[in-house]
Structure 1
Amino acid sequence: MSQLFHNAAPNATRVAPPLPQPRQYPAHKPDQVYLFGTCVVDLFFPGAGMDAIRLLEREGIRVHFPQDQGCCGQPAYTSGYTGEAREVARRQLALFAEDWPVVVPSGSCAGMLREHYAELFKDEPELHARLKALAERTYELAEFLLHVCKVQLQDQGPQTQVALHTSCSARREMNTHLHGRALLAQLAQVERVEHDHESECCGFGGTFSVRMPDISGAMVADKTRALQACGAAQVVSADCGCLMNINGALEKQRAALRGQHLASFLWQRTQPRARTE
């Protein structure tokens, strides 16, 4: 939970932090990019990583995937282990030496690279400058497809209703909810339905769900209850950590509803074979 919540007076109005300002995007899409796959995609949702690559390659972009990449360091950083997070960040920096955009299929991990890496090395001027440059070329996948590639998606699937879930840090730091909404709006047969608790945390929060399982469980119960009540046939999200938590709760509840990564949803919806499914 945020420090703002803990410090607020009992009857105080909670004020959300301002969303990030729109950034300047390149006039032309690049020929080559790095994909920072994230550890959760690598271990639990490899299909989402492959679909992200397919979406980028369809735009005529060559995708490089450094094999030694790992965690972005966010769990250590948000748990207060700054030294450990710094070492993780140092290893990742060495893998993205070329001046290519770094595309991340996770708003929270993209936010770690873009918003927090430079802060970790503020006392190391040379490395701090390199990390600031890395931040400027880091994009969340939906953001990159929308604003850099300027994709025009052609929906090939049947009519359906979906609910979009955005991790709270991705919403706060990267505007990922706006990018996801804009891409889904391009799909003619897809209706995005609003759900209660849309802007609220699902309860995952990395190590938060381990350290405070009862609170985390109550939060994901609220989230899944709202998702099922909205009438959507499917949940779509750009963050696999949230998907893992939400899908796990839905499975435990024996609910039919499930979540899918936005990359996989977009790829499947724009394949001609989807017409016959």
Structure 2
Amino acid sequence: MATCLTDTFFPDTARAVVRLLERLGCTVEFPPAQTCCGQMHYNTGYRRQATTLARHTARTFADYDAVVAPSGSCAGMVRDLYPGLHRSTVRVAGRTYELSEFLVDVLGVEDVGAYFPHRVTYHPTCHSLRMLGVGEKPLRLLRAVRGLELVELPAARSCCGFGGTFALKNADTSTAMLADKMRNVLDTGARVLTAGDNSCLMHIGGGLTRLNTGVRTLHLAEILASTEEEPWVATP
């Protein structure tokens, strides 16, 4: 389940998920009928429209053993909120995983054979932390990456200020939260900021780019998919 944001703006993340899972022995399919999970509609109060999208998603992924999303936000929507919208979604909700928890909890791996010789800091996104409870799983995966120097992000558990439509409806508050997050990122001296949600990376990355900081944002999947044979190369 690529998620609409990743499919539209960050297709390299979706490709990285496929490469990574296939390298680990999974058979991966991308159902072309998939659409938005409905979280934006649900959070904005459009419950009927969110229910329509939830039922469509449940039908689209009905025949798969597992549904893996490179997003704690969208995985949390499916797993935690879908069952309250319609009973037809219960089965798909029970088989949906955020990427890091699928790797650690279902496949039982932490060392995925990745190689990424860069200084990296990790931002734990709100939904992955508070809704899914992925905890240390992304960090355990990052610590097993050869060549990677992982540095702790100060106040890591604080929100970056994106929150989907929150950033639009409460722009001043969102911008202030983003400034705090960027300051903490820069304090680490990291070259790359990673996270499990492209929505947060888009928000933080936009700020870092506008300030010409030289810090790149990169989804966790793209780091884990990087190897000596297929390295990630920073764009100048």
Aligned to 2:80: 115
Q: 1:215 to 1:157 in 2, by over 3 A?
A: closer
Counterpart CA distance in 2 for 1:110 and 1:275 is 26
Partner SS for 2:120: strand
Q: Shift in Å at residue 54 of structure 1?
A: 0.6
Q: Shift in Å at residue 234 of structure 1?
A: 0.8
Counterpart CA distance in 2 for 1:275 and 1:167 is 23
Aligned to 2:59: 94
* Partners of 1:156 and 1:272 within 8 A in 2: no
In the alignment, structure 1 residue 247 sits paired with structure 2 residue 234 = no
Residue of structure 1 aligned with 2:112, choices 130, 153, 173: 153
In the alignment, structure 1 residue 81 sits paired with structure 2 residue 63 = no
Q: 1:96 to 1:164 in 2, by over 3 A?
A: same
Q: Shift in Å at residue 82 of structure 1?
A: 1.2
Choose 219-228 or 160-169, whichever is displaced more.
160-169
Counterpart CA distance in 2 for 1:105 and 1:157 is 19
Aligned length: 233
Q: Shift in Å at residue 89 of structure 1?
A: 0.8
**What do the CA deviations read for 1:137-180 (whole angstroms, capped 9, x no partner)?**
1111111112222233334343x321111211111112234221
Unaligned runs of 5+ in 2: none
Counterpart residue type for residue 100 of structure 2: A
Aligned to 1:65: 30
In the alignment, structure 1 residue 42 sits paired with structure 2 residue 7 = yes
**What do the CA deviations read for 1:103-160 (whole angstroms, capped 9, x no partner)?**
1110110000000000112xxxxxx1x42221211111111112222233334343x3
Q: Shift in Å at residue 60 of structure 1?
A: 1.7
Q: 1:275 to 1:40 in 2, by over 3 A?
A: closer
Residue of structure 2 aligned with 1:272, choices 216, 225, 229: 229
Residue of structure 2 aligned with 1:222, choices 154, 157, 180: 180
**What do the CA deviations read for 1:170-194 (whole angstroms, capped 9, x no partner)?**
1111223422111011124223211
Q: Shift in Å at residue 99 of structure 1?
A: 4.3
Q: 1:276 to 1:62 in 2, by over 3 A?
A: closer
**What do the CA deviations read for 1:188-235 (whole angstroms, capped 9, x no partner)?**
422321122210111111111111111111111110111001121210
**What do the CA deviations read for 1:54-85 (whole angstroms, capped 9, x no partner)?**
11111221111111211111111112221121
CA RMSD of aligned residues (A): 1.8
Q: Shift in Å at residue 39 of structure 1?
A: 0.6
Counterpart CA distance in 2 for 1:45 and 1:94 is 25
Counterpart CA distance in 2 for 1:264 and 1:247 is 15
**What does 1:104-143 align with in structure 2 at a 5 Å threshold?**
104-121=69-86, 128=87, 130-143=88-101
- Normalization by structure 2: what TM-score? 0.92
Counterpart CA distance in 2 for 1:239 and 1:106 is 5
Counterpart CA distance in 1 for 2:129 and 2:189 is 23
Q: 1:96 to 1:274 in 2, by over 3 A?
A: closer
Unaligned runs of 5+ in 1: 1-35, 122-127
Q: 1:43 to 1:276 in 2, by over 3 A?
A: closer
Residue of structure 2 aligned with 1:174, choices 118, 126, 132: 132
- Normalization by structure 1: what TM-score? 0.79
Q: Shift in Å at residue 90 of structure 1?
A: 1.5
Percent of aligned pairs with the same amino acid: 40
Counterpart residue type for residue 143 of structure 1: E
Partner SS for 1:272: coil
Partner SS for 2:28: strand
Q: Shift in Å at residue 273 of structure 1?
A: 5.1
**What do the CA deviations read for 1:25-48 (whole angstroms, capped 9, x no partner)?**
xxxxxxxxxxx1101101110000
